[in-house]
Structure 1
């Protein structure tokens, strides 16, 4: 089958359902740690929750190369430029390997200082630090998995990454059972056991995903290739990645600032947020999958200069995303206490968590606007606009409103959730205006790459 005939068979559904399952399992992997640790200690859950806020920052740094990879490869393939698509793949793996190794070392050295800056309660520091050092120290493995996964998805092989994630999750759950609770006569390691299990499952997945890359694309990398990075490809990757990372970094640092506010409310509030956000991540799954599938399709369409088709594709995806996100939020709200009861029996956490899940009925449609349209704008090459708007909204709306309502007016987590709603809806409406303006039609990146 030729590459052209394969590309024509790509549809939103064919791309999205494996991405949905993959993302579901990624979240399940994080929730497996939380769920199993909740049987061990609520304090352990809070410690890992704060550590994960920092680890999310690392994923953002790795993700900016992965995002650039997807956009460039899909635009090149849409323009039938297979040679440059492969060259971008090699450059992205090399760049993310170097960046991730530096960040992995840095997180090991500075883990305790970072946690203290987040105003972490002293009693949580030992467990949070142990988890952060182990998972963060080997985070370069996750960076490489993300990069190779982005390459495979760009070529339409979303099923392969889905099956890989299934295997990785199974390994992690088994490892958690053995290492957290000390099964089969082994010592009970608690938080450290969860961290070790995460690292081992990722390391095995890394070996397998490189095998898949070689099998599907006849793609191999030697040491010589790792140090050959064509300047124009690297420049385009960074040109997409750095602004994208800027927005994601702004989001995660603003979330860290809000986490700092929540620590002022108390450890119980911190734990409530962790449990509630675990549920919210599952609500977001359809929007995430639709956004990623749409981004791949629009990349192909922009590469082929089919701008009208790209415009219609994004708008259809947006309607799907909004409708499904409302439905999911309503369903989760109806069963919120039962779902939260999976994690805890604390009545106060169940009560406040149920109110927060109810508020997500308003929150999630706004988030869908951002996920689908920001992904579409980036796929079209309109990179900087979402970044500028995102930074202004997060720090101009989310953070100050969260403090004002949550701390000053003592609304607690409800005030924080109202700030999230305001942030998502303001940004979402602005992104809709940008997409309808069609200013992105002049941002096609492949055109610039060919000319350079």
Structure 2
């Protein structure tokens, strides 16, 4: 990619972002569908299995989100190298990324392994522990595998090939659904393993993703130009340090955002089971919106990293602005659609009248926070593209921990706002985070010429 004298038109930016972003969105939505399929299939097997799966998955999501965010450091490193044609260095960066993310995966595996010995002291019903423990062990085993796959996926995304990871993820999700069916229910020669079968299927699907993406990288002719750097025996210490320096703030930023939603679920549980169920329904809907926005945001990070690599600051800014306009248009469409059909959406999850009434009360804060969510996603990824990520950690702590959680408590309990009051903190925190990210990005790219 060459630096251009003129800014690329918005139409060309939209097309390029769509080409990069749509495969990412499809892959992420496939993961949501996989999770929904897991929940439905386990739920039909046993109510206890469903409760045990929910407990384990709520723990695992924070770990996996942190690991995913950590891998995002690869884009601002490899993206500029690819844009400048430094393919050998990009191969070295991939090797360093695998080392760093593999090491992180092992650390998380060990930490979660230690936590295993405390599962019986976390207030869960005794009758669930025989199902929680084996499922937990099997899923924890897959953490290093997922971390390595994350590194490979970010490499492919960074060089502009977002379709290959998409097809791998879709295929693995289908494999997991079939594996669930065979191992949960004991179809044909397979044993009936219940929830443990779902865990085994998930772990096998993650191993499959890693094997396939590695095989494609090694065997496909188009990636040969990266092999010399990838296979070089030289030291990668400096590059590993850079990836760690970038990865830690990104992982913590995403982890704190996820934690704010998870801890609000705890607050909903203080009110009662129905508000907690309503919270789960709306966060399921919200995660779909989030994945769509993040697909565009990830495309923004890729494009920004490429333009930043050749010092084309004008198109760095224009690509970022185009991404936000796209997210804004999508967010407006989703907000109108969801608010219009909220009763029909709720009926898909439950027929309980009280829960449905609470879900409807959450629509207003849900709609309001879509615009702040899109803002923070777009400009967090814009900052990722220019490798300016350290402030993300500070801003996330301020917005999601210092402001969001106390405000949820105040609005929900002190001012008696109930479930909707707890959720009203989200528009405030997400919009403030987005404004801070945007301000930082504009300051760092101020040298752009007008236009």
Q: TM-score, normalised by structure 1?
A: 0.87
Quote the offset at 1:202 in angstroms: 1.4
Q: Aligned match of 2:94 in 89, 95, 109? A: 89
Alignment of 1:30 onto 2:11: no
Q: Aligned match of 2:156 in 152, 159, 163? A: 152
Quote the offset at 1:122 in angstroms: 5.7
Does the CA contact (< 8 Å) of 1:46 and 1:270 recur in 2? no
Pair 1:427–1:61, CA change in 2 (3 A): closer
Pair 1:333–1:36, CA change in 2 (3 A): farther
Quote the offset at 1:29 in angstroms: 1.5
Quote the offset at 1:91 in angstroms: 0.7
Does the CA contact (< 8 Å) of 1:135 and 1:196 recur in 2? yes
**Higher mean C-alpha displacement, 251-260 vs 272-281:** 251-260
Q: Aligned match of 2:147 in 143, 146, 158? A: 143
**Displacement over 6 Å in runs of 4+:** 219-222
Q: What does residue 211 of structure 1 align with? A: 215
Pair 1:273–1:425, CA change in 2 (3 A): same
Q: What does residue 445 of structure 1 align with? A: none
Alignment of 1:295 onto 2:301: yes
Does the CA contact (< 8 Å) of 2:79 and 2:306 recur in 1? yes
Q: What does residue 355 of structure 2 align with? A: 349
Quote the offset at 1:328 in angstroms: 1.1
Q: What does residue 250 of structure 1 align with? A: 256
CA distance in 2 between counterparts of 1:221 and 1:125 reads 47
Quote the offset at 1:261 in angstroms: 2.4
Quote the offset at 1:302 in angstroms: 0.3
Mapping 1:426-445, distance limit 5 Å: 426-438=432-444
**Higher mean C-alpha displacement, 377-386 vs 54-63:** 54-63
Quote the offset at 1:378 in angstroms: 1.6
Alignment of 1:264 onto 2:273: no
CA distance in 1 between counterparts of 2:16 and 2:369 reads 28
Q: Aligned match of 2:179 in 175, 181, 200? A: 175
CA distance in 2 between counterparts of 1:183 and 1:155 reads 42
Pair 1:125–1:418, CA change in 2 (3 A): farther
CA distance in 2 between counterparts of 1:409 and 1:101 reads 45
Alignment of 1:107 onto 2:92: no
SS of structure 1 residue aligned to 2:424: helix
Does the CA contact (< 8 Å) of 2:403 and 2:429 recur in 1? yes
Does the CA contact (< 8 Å) of 1:261 and 1:407 recur in 2? no
Pair 1:96–1:142, CA change in 2 (3 A): same
Does the CA contact (< 8 Å) of 1:370 and 1:431 recur in 2? yes
Quote the offset at 1:314 in angstroms: 0.5
**Higher mean C-alpha displacement, 289-298 vs 430-439:** 430-439
Quote the offset at 1:324 in angstroms: 0.5
Does the CA contact (< 8 Å) of 1:141 and 1:203 recur in 2? yes
Q: What does residue 375 of structure 1 align with? A: 381
